[in-house]
A = this chain, B = another copy of it.
Amino acid sequence: MSSSSRAPSGVLQTADRALLVLAAFTEREPEHGVSDLARRLDLDKSQVQRLMATLARRDFLVADPRTRRYRLGPALVGLGRLAERGDGISTVVRPILLDLSETTGESTVFNVADGGRYRCSVAVDQPGPFRYTSAVGQLFPGHGGASGHAIFAFYPEEEIPALFAPELEGATDATIGTRAELRRRYAEVRERGYAVSFGEHDARVVGVAAPVFAHGTVLGSVAVVGAAAHLRPQLDAIAERVVAAADALTQRFGSPPGAPQPD
C-alpha cells in the first residue's frame, strides 16, 4: 500500500476497490480499459482486470467486445432509479437542507432533473409569513424557476433545444419565453455558479439555486425559496450558502467534475 495510514475499521479492501472502479467512470470519461484504470487507481493490471471482470459478470460493467474497454452496465440503471425513488437519498440530503434552512431562515428544496423537467425530491419547509410548502414528487417544467435554471444551464448543449422547443408556456410575467433569452441566462448562471429567479412561479417568491453534480453531469439543484422582501437584501450571502450546500451534496453523490475522489 502506498498510504501508510491503514484503515483500522472493518472496511473490506477488495469491495472498496470495486466501488472505486465504478466511481472512476464520469461523463467526460465514460469508458476505461484495464491498464488505463490500473494506472489511474495505482493498482496492478491484474487486480483491476479481475475487479472489472467481477463487475462485468453482474452487469455492473459491460465490455465492448470490439475495443475491449468497459462501460457502466445495465445493472446500475435499475439500482440508480430505485435509489432515486426510495428515501435513502433524503437521509443524506435532509440534514444538509436542514442546516441550510436554519442558517437562512427560509424553505429549502432539492430538485432532480427528470426527463427535461425537474422533480421536487426533498424539501424542508420553514414556517413563516410566506410559508412556501413544497410539493414533494411534483414535476416542474425545466425552463422555469431558479432550480430549473441551475440544472439545465449545465445540461449538454444538444439536449436543450429538443427539450424546450415544444412547451414554452409560463405562469408569471417574469417567465422567460424565447429560447435565445434562455440561452443567454444560462450563460450567466454558468458564469456565476448559481441561479436567481424573481417571482417566476409566484411574483412574491424568490428562489436561489445551485447545481449538484454527479460524475460530471448535473443531477439536480439545491434551492432556497422564500419571500422576496426577506431574501433580496441578503442575496449574496444566501447564494454563497446555497452553493456550499450544493457542493457538499456533490461530494456525497459522486465525484465533482474535476475533483479527487473521497479518500
Q: Taking CB as reference atom, which chain B residue is nearest A63?
A: B91
B115 touches A88 (CB 8 A): no
B72 touches A88 (CB 8 A): yes
- The stretch among A16-24, A37-45, A186-194 that forms the contact with chain B is A16-24
Which single member of B11, B75, B137, B219 contacts A50 (CB below 8 Å)?
A: B11
Q: Does A162 contact B (CB under 8 A)?
A: yes
Q: Does A176 contact B (CB under 8 A)?
A: no
Taking the nearest CB of chain B, how far is it from the CB of A213, in angstroms? 8
A215 touches B78 (CB 8 A): yes
Q: Does A171 contact B (CB under 8 A)?
A: no
- Collect the chain B residues with CB atoms within 8 Å of residue A83's CB: 71-74, 76-77, 80
A25 touches B79 (CB 8 A): yes
A27 touches B82 (CB 8 A): yes
Q: Does A252 contact B (CB under 8 A)?
A: yes
B19 touches A54 (CB 8 A): yes
Q: Does A92 contact B (CB under 8 A)?
A: yes
Bits for A81-95, please: 1 = Cβ < 8 Å to B, else 0: 111111111011100
Q: Does A60 contact B (CB under 8 A)?
A: yes
Q: Does A12 contact B (CB under 8 A)?
A: yes
B92 touches A62 (CB 8 A): yes
Contact-residue size bin, chain A (C-beta under 8 Å from the other chain): 35 or more
Q: Does A170 contact B (CB under 8 A)?
A: no
Q: Does A247 contact B (CB under 8 A)?
A: no
Q: Does A139 contact B (CB under 8 A)?
A: yes
B87 touches A77 (CB 8 A): no
Q: In the complex, what distance in Å separates the CA atom of A83 from the CA atom of B14?
A: 23
- Collect the chain B residues with CB atoms within 8 Å of residue A58's CB: 16, 19-20, 23, 262
Task: Give the 8 A-B CB pairs with smallest separation, nearest first.
Answer: A80-B80, A78-B214, A115-B115, A71-B88, A72-B83, A114-B115, A15-B18, A14-B14
Q: Using a CB–CB distance below 8 Å, which chain A residues touch chain B? A: 9-20, 22-23, 25-27, 30-31, 49-51, 53-55, 57-64, 71-89, 91-93, 112, 114-117, 119, 137-139, 159, 162-163, 213-217, 219, 249, 252-254, 262
Instruction: Supply 15 further A-B pairs (C-beta < 8 A) apart from A76-B79, A77-B112, A78-B254.
Output: A11-B54, A14-B14, A15-B54, A16-B54, A22-B79, A59-B92, A62-B89, A72-B79, A74-B93, A76-B83, A77-B84, A77-B89, A78-B217, A79-B215, A114-B115
